[in-house]
C-alpha cells in the first residue's frame, strides 16, 4: 500500500476508526479521506455512491457501525440490525463498483455462538445459537463477513474481515447504562474516589475471565492485516491474555487512585464464565499487541479525565 494511496476510514471518529486513522498518520500515509456522520449518512446509498465516485479511494477500512451496550441492543434490535446492514452493504457495494483494491471489514467477537468452545476459534462461526441480547447486531456483522467473502469468491475482490476482542482506549463510551465493563468500572471508581466513598460494589462474584485489548493495538493490527493478509477467512484479533473481573477491578482502582474496598453483589449474574479469543492465526502472521492492560488503563484514565466535560460524564 503506497504511502500516497487514497485511503478511506469509515467511522474515523469512533474508538476503533480513530485508532486506525492515528496509526495510518503515524506510519506516514498522507492521502486519507473521511467524513463525519453529519457530512455523510452511510445508511444513504445515494450519498455513499456519490462520496465514492468523488473520492475514489483505493483502500477502505470499514469501522463505522451503530454500537451500544446490552440494554440498547436488547431494546432496539430493529435499529441495530437495519442500520448496520445498511452501513456495511452500502460501503462494501460502493467499494466493489468503484474498484477499491482492498477493504477491511471490522466485525465483533459477538458474532460467535454463546457457548462456543474456549478460546474461541474462527471456525466456531455459525456452529450454534448466538447470545440473544445482542443477536441483531451479531447477525448484521455476520452478514457483513459473508458479503465480503461472497465478493472475494465471485469477483476476486480482496475484501477481508477482522473480529476484535473486547476493546477500550481513547474515546471510549462511559455512559452509565450503555458502556461496557471496563469503561463502566473506570467511571464508577473515579466517581467513588471523587465522592470519597468507602466501597465500590460490583455485580457478580468477580471470577469470570475476560480478554481486553487497547484500541490502538487493534489499529496497528488492522494496518498489519491490510498489508500482509489476503484471504477470505476471518481473523480474530486479541491479546491471548485474560483477566478476572476481580483483578480488572483492582487494576482500575489502582490507576484511578481509589483506596476503598471492592465488594461484589453475588445475587447479580456473572454472565459467561470465560470469553477468550483464539488469535493464533494473527500471531502466526507475525503480529502481537504492544500495550499491556495496566498501561492501557492508565492511558485510558488520563483520556477520561481530559474529556470529562465534553463527554458529559457526570450525567
Phi, psi of 199 (to 5 degrees): -150, 145
Annotated catalytic residue 137: yes
- Which segments are annotated as binding site for substrate? 188, 203, 210, 270
Query: Residue 166's CB: how many other CB atoms inside 10 A?
Result: 18
Domain that holds residue 25: 7-169+212-240+275-291
What is the separation of C-alpha 42 from the centre of its chain, rounded to a whole number of angstroms?
18
Cell of 194: 471523587
The confidence score (pLDDT) of residue 315 equals: 45
- Please list the pLDDT of the chain residue by residue as tens digits (315 residues): 999 999 999 999 999 999 999 999 999 999 999 999 999 999 999 999 999 999 999 999 999 999 887 778 888 999 999 999 999 999 999 999 999 999 999 999 999 999 999 999 999 999 999 988 889 999 999 999 999 999 999 999 999 999 999 999 998 988 877 778 899 999 999 999 999 999 999 989 999 999 999 999 999 999 999 999 999 999 999 999 999 999 999 999 999 999 999 999 998 888 788 899 999 999 999 999 999 999 999 999 999 998 875 555 544
Contacts of 41 (CB under 8 A, 6+ apart): 47
Decide: helix, strand or coil at residue 159: strand
Residue 26 placed within a domain: yes
Residue 14 belongs to domain with CATH number: 3.40.50.720
Distances in whole angstroms, Cα of residue 23 to Cα of each of 4, 221, 306: 15, 10, 21
- Which segments are annotated as binding site for NADP(+)? 11-17, 106-109, 141, 164-167, 180
- Which segments are annotated as binding site? 11-17, 106-109, 141, 164-167, 180, 188, 203, 210, 270
Contacts of 245 (CB under 8 A, 6+ apart): 181, 202, 204, 206, 207, 208, 210
Q: Dihedral of the CA atoms 269, 272, 274, 278 (nearest 10)? A: -150
Decide: helix, strand or coil at residue 201: strand
The confidence score (pLDDT) of residue 314 equals: 46
Residue 200 placed within a domain: no
Residue 113 placed within a domain: yes
pTM: 0.94
Residue 67 placed within a domain: yes
Contacts of 302 (CB under 8 A, 6+ apart): none
Residue 69 placed within a domain: yes
Number of domains in the chain: 1
Q: Which of 21, 137, 168, 174 is catalytic?
A: 137
Residue 221 placed within a domain: yes
Amino acid at each position: 500500500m503506497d504511502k500516497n494511496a487514497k485511503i478511506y476510514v469509515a467511522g474515523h471518529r469512533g474508538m476503533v476508526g480513530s485508532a486506525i486513522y492515528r496509526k495510518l498518520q503515524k506510519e506516514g500515509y498522507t492521502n486519507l479521506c473521511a467524513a463525519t456522520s453529519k457530512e455523510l449518512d452511510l445508511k444513504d446509498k445515494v450519498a455513499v455512491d456519490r462520496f465514492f465516485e468523488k473520492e475514489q479511494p483505493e483502500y477502505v477500512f470499514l469501522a463505522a457501525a451503530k454500537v451500544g451496550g446490552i440494554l440498547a441492543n436488547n431494546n432496539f434490535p430493529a435499529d441495530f440490525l437495519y442500520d448496520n446492514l445498511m452501513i456495511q452493504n452500502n460501503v462494501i457495494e460502493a467499494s466493489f463498483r468503484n474498484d477499491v483494491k482492498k477493504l477491511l471489514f471490522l466485525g465483533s467477537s459477538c458474532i460467535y455462538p454463546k457457548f462456543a468452545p474456549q478460546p474461541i476459534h474462527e471456525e466456531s462461526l455459525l456452529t450454534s445459537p448466538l447470545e440473544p441480547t445482542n443477536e441483531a447486531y451479531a447477525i448484521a456483522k455476520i452478514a457483513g463477513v459473508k458479503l465480503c467473502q461472497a465478493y472475494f469468491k465471485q469477483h476476486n475482490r480482496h475484501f477481508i474481515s477482522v473480529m476484535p476482542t473486547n476493546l477500550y482506549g481513547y474515546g471510549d463510551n462511559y455512559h452509565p447504562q450503555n458502556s461496557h465493563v471496563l469503561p463502566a468500572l473506570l467511571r464508577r471508581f473515579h466517581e467513588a474516589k471523587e465522592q470519597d466513598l468507602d466501597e465500590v460494589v460490583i455485580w457478580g462474584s468477580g471470577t469470570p475471565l475476560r480478554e481486553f485489548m487497547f484500541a490502538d493495538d487493534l489499529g496497528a493490527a488492522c494496518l498489519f492485516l491490510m498489508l500482509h493478509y489476503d484471504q477470505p477467512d476471518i481473523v480474530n484479533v486479541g491479546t491471548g491474555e485474560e483477566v478476572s473481573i476481580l483483578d480488572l477491578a483492582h487494576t482500575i482502582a489502582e490507576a484511578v487512585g481509589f483506596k476503598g474496598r471492592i465488594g461484589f453483589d453475588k445475587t447479580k449474574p456473572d454472565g459467561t464464565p470465560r470469553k477468550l479469543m483464539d488469535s493464533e492465526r494473527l500471531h502466526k502472521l507475525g503480529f502481537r499487541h504492544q500495550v499491556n492492560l495496566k498501561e492501557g488503563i492508565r492511558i485510558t484514565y488520563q483520556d477520561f479525565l481530559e474529556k470529562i466535560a465534553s463527554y458529559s460524564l457526570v450525567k
